[in-house]
Structure 1
């Protein structure tokens, strides 16, 4: 009888140890009350759908109190890395819409974003505040060069990381045009707007950015949030924001393209994005005469 009791005790201890090990593997080390993995929602890109109820009839399929974190305008050598560290600490994955000019200047940060498991979309080459004021050909060149710059930055990365460049695009200032959305759609590139912003592009403090983000999310309940990884104020408030949102019952979701989206987008004639294979892309660093991008939108995101 004593031997049976001893064996039972050993089994219980082993089961407890296995359960604890499983829990540790699936719990965020920096935020132990939450999962180590961000839920991934895949979205179609075929035909170039436009997502985000601030502008479009449809948005991404989220449950109650689910929020997608997106960051525009980087990569930035200071703020982007701080934001990546905060996201790692809280085990949150996001989507970064990158400006091609900065991707060409800081390709190592583009690779770092991908290596840490985030999805990358593009945001033009020079972030013109309104592509509507460009000729169609000029606007198309802006968009194309943005994709080329990010692909070039990822050319030396492992295939898994190169795959994180998705056929996702966001218009600077959300100033879209029907003609460009159709053109993107013909290349199976999806357009992303949002449900809410936090006005972090304005000269306000980090506490106010946090307050506006929480207020705007609460007014809608779920959706895509636009932030900017070029803003120190955003990096300053991000950890507290994530903690507060979780305390209020919200969770974070990462967007990814449906399987085969990249292959489909790369297969069309005059594609904007290539297949995941070694790229022979010319050096597209900007000439010294190129002006710095303008990163401020024309109007606030309410």
Structure 2
């Protein structure tokens, strides 16, 4: 009971502290550095699993958040990032994007990159039949696009041809299938174990330790975890004090159009308000949910 009350108090304190920062921080002197990445052919990034890194500089970290959007924690994390003038990448789960489209639009409006993380986060996606695995990925993209359908064109373009496998449990076959559609796969260089039942202080310590050991790269966090929101401000401050800077991952110019032009694409072109629509095009169309996550989200 005490732990529940403590967690509630922590969230309340974070929420109150974040209230003045609902809009992007006008005091930011400069934007987070942007690292643009090729997506043609579906390269896989992240030294934890793949030979190819995202090409970040020494002591440069890209913050990424999985499993949201979550109405209890994602807004807190957005406000913390704003206060520290940091942009990140959010890999969203389709069912939550469908349930909370306003938060999807808020992430885009705040200037972050959005990737997808499947429809319902099955950790054993590699063991699904090809048809079911592909449906999981496709429905994830559809849900995020539907959530962004009413947003300005610049915000709709925040959805990148980026995908991260749930639990990082990839397969060569699915990576190849994504590659045929010019969708890049993302792993990471380090994590912080924030999905485990550990304290926020432990999450921060593990993140700092792992980052220091590697020196640069993509950090995987989860915007569904109160412990992550609780330690994020301190983590950013500690990294900057140690000479680190932050980068936002983004697709190189034309990557979205390239993915949209692929056979059987997973992502649609962004149509401007003054552009004629194709007959029968339904930007907001998506499959209705028929299942809940089969395993606990990490």
The answer as to whether partners of 1:174 and 1:193 remain within 8 angstroms in 2 is: yes
Equivalent position of 1:107 in the other structure: 101
1:233 corresponds to which of 227, 236, 244: 227
Quote the RMSD (CA, aligned, Å): 1.5
Which SS does the other structure have where 2:220 is aligned? Answer: strand
Which SS does the other structure have where 1:129 is aligned? Answer: coil
Q: How far does residue 130 in structure 1 lie from its aligned partner after superposition? A: 1.4
Which SS does the other structure have where 1:74 is aligned? Answer: coil
Query: CA separation in 1, counterparts of 2:193 and 2:257?
Result: 36
Equivalent position of 1:143 in the other structure: 137
The answer as to whether partners of 2:139 and 2:286 remain within 8 angstroms in 1 is: no
The answer as to whether partners of 2:208 and 2:239 remain within 8 angstroms in 1 is: yes
Equivalent position of 1:182 in the other structure: 176
Query: CA separation in 1, counterparts of 2:266 and 2:135?
Result: 10
Q: How far does residue 280 in structure 1 lie from its aligned partner after superposition? A: 3.1
How many residues in Structure 1 have an aligned counterpart in Structure 2?
265
Equivalent position of 1:171 in the other structure: 165
Which SS does the other structure have where 2:145 is aligned? Answer: helix
Equivalent position of 2:81 in the other structure: 87
Q: How far does residue 28 in structure 1 lie from its aligned partner after superposition? A: 7.2
Equivalent position of 1:70 in the other structure: 64
Computing the radius of gyration over CA atoms, which structure comes out larger, 1 or 2? Answer: 1
TM-score, normalised with respect to structure 1: 0.85
Q: How far does residue 137 in structure 1 lie from its aligned partner after superposition? A: 1.0
Residues 38/168 of structure 1: CA separation in 2 closer, same or farther (3 Å cut): same
Query: CA separation in 1, counterparts of 2:120 and 2:297?
Result: 12
Q: Find out whether 1:46 has 2:40 as its counterpart.
A: yes
Query: CA separation in 1, counterparts of 2:143 and 2:180?
Result: 21
Query: CA separation in 2, counterparts of 1:236 and 1:257?
Result: 30
Report matched runs for 1:177-256 at 5 Å: 177-256=171-250
The answer as to whether partners of 1:101 and 1:285 remain within 8 angstroms in 2 is: no
Q: How far does residue 295 in structure 1 lie from its aligned partner after superposition? A: 4.3
Runs of 4+ in structure 1 off by over 6 angstroms are none
The answer as to whether partners of 1:72 and 1:229 remain within 8 angstroms in 2 is: yes
Query: CA separation in 2, counterparts of 1:82 and 1:138?
Result: 34
The answer as to whether partners of 1:100 and 1:123 remain within 8 angstroms in 2 is: yes
Which SS does the other structure have where 1:96 is aligned? Answer: strand
1:134 corresponds to which of 128, 136, 157: 128
Which SS does the other structure have where 2:253 is aligned? Answer: coil
Query: CA separation in 2, counterparts of 1:131 and 1:200?
Result: 22
Query: CA separation in 2, counterparts of 1:185 and 1:90?
Result: 35
Equivalent position of 1:291 in the other structure: 292
The answer as to whether partners of 2:32 and 2:87 remain within 8 angstroms in 1 is: yes
Query: CA separation in 2, counterparts of 1:256 and 1:162?
Result: 14
Q: Which deviations, in whole Å up to 9, do the C-alpha atoms of 1:22-73 show, x marking residues without a partner?
A: xxxxx9737xxxx431000100000000000100001111111000000000
Equivalent position of 1:157 in the other structure: 151
The answer as to whether partners of 1:105 and 1:285 remain within 8 angstroms in 2 is: no
Q: How far does residue 291 in structure 1 lie from its aligned partner after superposition? A: 2.3
Contiguous gaps of at least 5 residues in structure 1: 1-26, 298-302
